[in-house]
Amino acid sequence: MKTEIVRIDPDRVEDFSDELERAAEIIRGGGLVAFPTETVYGLGGNALDPDASRKIYEAKGRPSDNPLIAHVASVEDFEALCEIEDRERFGLIAEHFIPGPITVIQKKKPHIPDTVTAGHPTLAVRFPVHTVARALIRASGVPIAAPSANLSGRPSPTRAEHVIEDLDGRVDMIIDSGESSIGVESTIIHIADEIPKLLRPGAVTLEMLRSVLGRVEVDPCILGKMSDDVKPLAPGMKYRHYAPKSPVIAVRGEEERILSYLAEKSCEPRSAILCFDEDKALLKSSDRVLTLGSRLDKSAHARYLFDRLRAFDKMDIDKIYTRVPDDSELGLAVVNRLLKACGYTVVDVK
Ligand code: TXA
Ligand code: MG
């Protein structure tokens, strides 16, 4: 399949109505369009067309037991797709966080195809704030089912180049609108039961959710390795995800010990390091040392994480050592992805 690559400036969507109409036609016709969102790029198809979701699973090489998120362009559209059982709770989430980097899981309406929900009785719905995503959903006139636009198991794409690396020749169109501003996937909150539950941390943080909703439970799989008898509520969280080709080893503990450990590893010819800007001067200088930005800049950590994990794949290395940022606020999302990337291999240097 020939993939058309189209550039759309997110600050001037009104000048790109021809391109958006072409993309919308592909979606309505059952084809696939990769598009930008504020979190990561998505691989979109018509959420109401079971064949389109089948094509999504195939293009990504994704196990079909892993449900998709339906993307909409208004708060009312949540109601068109789901049974909203607790209006007050949904209203609070909508008022504070929608549109934005949050996905809400509720009981699905009967017309939603089982291919989208992988047979689950619930549906995940998100209203992104990105101008191009919104314009595409509106132009398509249907909800767009979209997982992250990476091959299954690879780090999520935060730039069109990442999508091209993974999906060129597998989808009809890729829209390039530059870098995603957040860089980690949306927060997922399940509100179909009595207590809201965080299934995946993101830029709408646990602290923000608790300040609006009160009690919010956290799926234990977010920071801990899952034992075989505990299944995460979001099936996608069980896969060894976000992983570069070389094994990743996380290093935790006392600041000075971490730095001396990394300094030692930076002298090994086939080891790469992921650290903070401030650490670089202390390590053996090489192009195998990448940073997540400044130590206290959580939004930089989120924005750069997947890009850096992908960059390691282009190096001739056989191990990656990484620091683990602080896990409060947006840090929880970064640490969750990083621990998955390293398959929970953590060296404690206390
Ligand atoms: O930021 C995002 O959410 C991006 C952009 C494109 O919107 N999308 C994304 O989709 O990250 P994906 O498919 O890579 O991750 C969706 C996650 C998976 O872990 C999946 O198992 C979970 O959401 N999920 C979807 N529907 C669910 C449901 N009904 N119940 C539980 N988990 C669900
Ligand atoms: Mg994904």
Ligand nearest to the CA of 56: 1
Nearest CA to ligand 1 atom 32: 234
* pTM reported for the whole predicted model: 0.97
- Cα dihedral angle (222, 227, 229, 232), rounded to 10 degrees? 20
pLDDT at 226: 63
Q: Of all helices (H) and strands (E), which one includes residue 125?
A: strand 122-126
Ligand 1 pocket mutation pick from 60, 102, 188 by most atoms within 8 angstroms of CB? 188
Which of 35, 64, 103, 337 to mutate for ligand 1's pocket (most ligand atoms within 8 Å of CB)? 103
Cα separation of 160 and 310, whole Å? Answer: 13
| Gap from CA of 67 to ligand 1 centroid (Å) | 7
Residue 242 confidence (pLDDT): 77
State how far the Cα of 202 lies from the Cα of 223, in Å rounded to an integer: 13
Q: In this predicted structure, what is the pLDDT of residue 223?
A: 84
Ligand 1 atom at minimum distance from 120 CA: 29
Whose CA is closest to atom 17 on ligand 1?
Answer: 236
Contact assessment for residue 226 and residue 156, using Cβ atoms and an 8 Å cutoff: no
CB contact set of 305 (below 8 Å; sequence gap of 6+): 155, 183, 184, 292, 334, 337, 338
310 CA to centre of ligand 1 in angstroms: 21
Looking at residue 331, its pLDDT comes to: 98
For each of the chain's 350 residues, which pLDDT tens digit applies? 999 999 999 999 999 999 999 999 999 999 999 999 999 999 999 999 999 999 999 999 999 899 999 999 999 999 999 999 999 999 999 999 999 999 999 999 999 999 999 999 999 999 999 999 999 999 999 999 999 999 999 999 999 999 999 999 999 999 999 999 999 999 999 999 999 999 999 999 999 999 999 999 999 989 876 666 667 788 877 666 778 889 999 999 999 999 999 999 999 999 999 999 999 999 988 899 999 999 999 999 999 999 999 999 999 999 999 999 999 999 999 999 999 999 888 999 98
| Residue 217, beta-bridge partner list | 197
- Cα(70) to ligand 1 centroid in Å equals 9
- Ordered by where they begin, the domains of the chain are 4-222 (3.90.870.10), 248-348 (3.40.50.11030)
Q: Is the peptide bond before 113 cis (omega within 30 degrees of 0)?
A: no
Q: What ranges in 190-321 are assigned the alpha helix state H?
A: 206-213, 255-265, 298-312
Q: How many CB atoms lie within 10 A of CB 4?
A: 15
User: What is the atom index within ligand 1 of the atom nearest the CA of 71?
Assistant: 7
If we measure between CA atoms, which residue out of 300, 298, 279, 297 comes closest to residue 289?
279
pLDDT for position 232: 74
Tell me which residue has its CA closest to atom 12 in ligand 1. 147
The string over 280-289, giving b where at least 16 C-beta atoms fall within 10 Å of a residue's C-beta and e elsewhere, is eeebeeeebb
- The residue whose CA is least distant from atom 23 of ligand 1 is 234
> How far is the centre of ligand 2, averaged over its atoms, from the C-alpha of 167 (Å)?
14
Which protein residues are within 6 Å of ligand 1, measured from CB?
Answer: 37, 39-40, 42, 66-69, 103, 105, 117, 120, 122-124, 126, 146-148, 185-186, 188, 199, 233-237
Quote the pLDDT of residue 229: 63
pLDDT at 317: 96
Q: Give the distance between the most distant pair of CA atoms in the chain.
A: 59
Note the pLDDT tens digit of each residue in 71-103: 999 999 999 999 999 999 999 999 999 999 999
Residue nearest to atom 10 of ligand 1 (CA): 147
